């Protein structure tokens, strides 16, 4: 866990100090559904994120976007169905590090993909469970600094005693870009 989180935090701190024009942070609220052979887990997923991103392109055409993002969420259980206590899929907190490539759809609308890796504290086992994240999202610029994002992510985790957990997340977030 320390091998992933410590470099990510240091990178984000460096980007805040050296490149404040493209540093962003925000809050999110999502719905999470994880299931395996004999267990299901549903939760609200509030969180915080910080990242660094920028527009790219050729010939003064900034059509492409690339960002790196560190996020933490604290899922709040709605339902948690399992056969025995050790089969619970409840994870809190969950930490992720993602790469976000995107493309401008129209001037205020950005379409993007999320490719990431994360870990969640699997409470029943007292162990951190690694997950891999792929997703798709849309970001709408409300002002030069504020954006609204909508996203759907697919997660798959390493195999545990109940099988290979897989999950879906749907998230809405507000993003603030510093010095935009």
Residue 17: CATH number of its domain: 2.40.160.20
**Where in the sequence is the domain holding 56, given as residue range(s)?**
2-177
3-class DSSP state of 171: strand
* Number of structural domains the chain divides into: 1
Tell which residue, 171, 70, 75, has the closest CA to residue 123. Answer: 75
Per-position pLDDT tens, the chain of length 180: 555 555 555 555 444 433 334 899 999 999 999 999 889 999 999 999 999 999 887 766 778 999 999 999 999 999 999 988 878 899 989 999 999 999 999 989 999 999 999 999 988 888 899 999 999 999 999 999 999 999 999 999 988 888 899 999 999 999 999 976
């Amino acid at each position: 866990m320390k091998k992933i989180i410590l470099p990510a935090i240091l990178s984000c701190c460096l980007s805040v100090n050296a490149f404040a024009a493209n540093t962003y942070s925000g809050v999110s609220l999502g719905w999470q559904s994880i299931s395996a052979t004999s267990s299901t887990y549903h939760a609200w997923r509030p969180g915080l994120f910080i990242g660094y991103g920028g527009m790219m392109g050729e010939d003064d055409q900034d059509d492409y976007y690339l960002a790196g993002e560190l996020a933490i969420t604290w899922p709040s259980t709605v339902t948690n169905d399992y056969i025995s206590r050790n089969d619970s899929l409840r994870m809190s907190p969950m930490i992720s590090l993602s790469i976000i490539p995107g493309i401008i759809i129209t001037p205020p609308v950005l379409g993007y993909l999320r490719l990431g890796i994360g870990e969640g504290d699997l409470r029943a086992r007292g162990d951190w469970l690694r997950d891999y994240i792929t997703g798709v999202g849309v970001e709408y610029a409300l002002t030069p600094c504020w954006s609204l994002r909508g996203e759907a992510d697919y997660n798959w985790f390493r195999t545990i005693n109940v099988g290979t957990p897989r999950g879906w997340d749907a998230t809405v977030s507000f993003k603030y870009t510093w010095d935009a």
